[in-house]
Structure 1
């Protein structure tokens, strides 16, 4: 089954398997792999009320989910065709084609994301002490206030109801309109990546109470305008993989790049304009990147990093 050219590619790792969520027509679909090589599409549609133009989608895995009886779950958060923030979740221990259940989003947040907002999410403190801190990020424009990147959080302290945490952006409208968002969470720190008004790829570090000022990790001359962004863990906790598209030059075409630590590595020279990126880590440091090739933009391809180098990893979702 094909996917929209501009479909979000929301990748989730459970540690022992990979799930990928994507859009075709108005439907939100799931495909699964135990090894990153062979993929099986679910016969159950997650939702059928997405936007014809492509809906923002994000997803995350929780091993000890305090919001769902401390079970192992996957949550998918998206914006539907009526521009309403929605959430679905399923319990993995139910096995087979586990049923997706609707999770109520507070009325104050349903219409919070602006028309051009994307989504990102992550989980911290996923243990038997806290039973997870769940994060979702989007861009909002509260009445009589500046546009900002907002983080909402759900945990035991707030009764497992989404509520605003500290706002991400200190200066007004620092984010480039329509910027992609990517989130990488550890127990101590949440990192959010986006593109700013100067077209730099930037990073904010913070969490529940406050955020640092932005740090430029790739300057504008090295980043495609309105680049897609994705992030995944590495074997160095403080240095996740951050994926973006490089800016084309007279001598080089735009390419998918992996920034880690202080170094950028080319992943693929085939990038379908307008497409998105998704990424997840299986095991210690086997990283999977999901993307669309120029030659087949309705299909979803993958690349894999095994700790040494990036390699093509075949097709995840076909073009027909």
Structure 2
């Protein structure tokens, strides 16, 4: 005997990385698998800027999900750093899930992504056809054939191809089973009940940024960064009536963008604060006082010094 118990040998644990070009449903899928919101989701591409670890606890396994930014052809220094983050993550996980939307044709971005994954050290790889609720059976059959052909064209190897819908829950449990089946035997990596290892300040900042991105459609380029400057329980409150003070700055690149975020007579910023506060309270389970300010950091996406200051 090598000192490892039989139960430890049977228990599986490890990391799964969800990748895809921008806006393929990775964050929504992470939240569906975990069963609670741990990653921000938005209709705008490139919403995710951090790898968020969502933790799925099963009696027989622990699956740690790494939600990455969308892999894309970068146009800014920020884009280059996000791509580097994805490729580094790919080299460190046990299984890779590639998200391909059911309602969009396989395109150059998907082929670029598959080709990049094919260059990384071989590991179990699952093709996840997301947004299955948006297409009929005929369109799904055509997409499954296209996903299979993508492997032939790029040299990537699919261990499984599975359609899912994060919004309806279609085959989410099946996908969890498939990802867990590819994990190595090993001990529990995080304490029971933990859903993410992201610091609360990072999660709060992401929720504020999600709220700020909602409703601006094409008015505002994707150039908002959020930094939580201060966060803590207010000292003069009784234990049964806590209040969490959160002071955060939203950074944009130009004064014209600042005006859009603030809105007429500040109404849009108030709306952003209200939406974000509700999400933060739901996440942390305590009443929140949220203080938001908008600042200009000129061309921060292209400035190495400002990228460092904003956490990239």
TM score, norm. by length of structure 2:
0.27
Counting helix residues as a fraction of each chain, which structure ranks higher? 2
Structure of higher CA gyration radius: 2
TM-score, scaled to structure 1: 0.27
Q: Looking at secondary structure, tell me which structure has more strand per residue.
A: 1
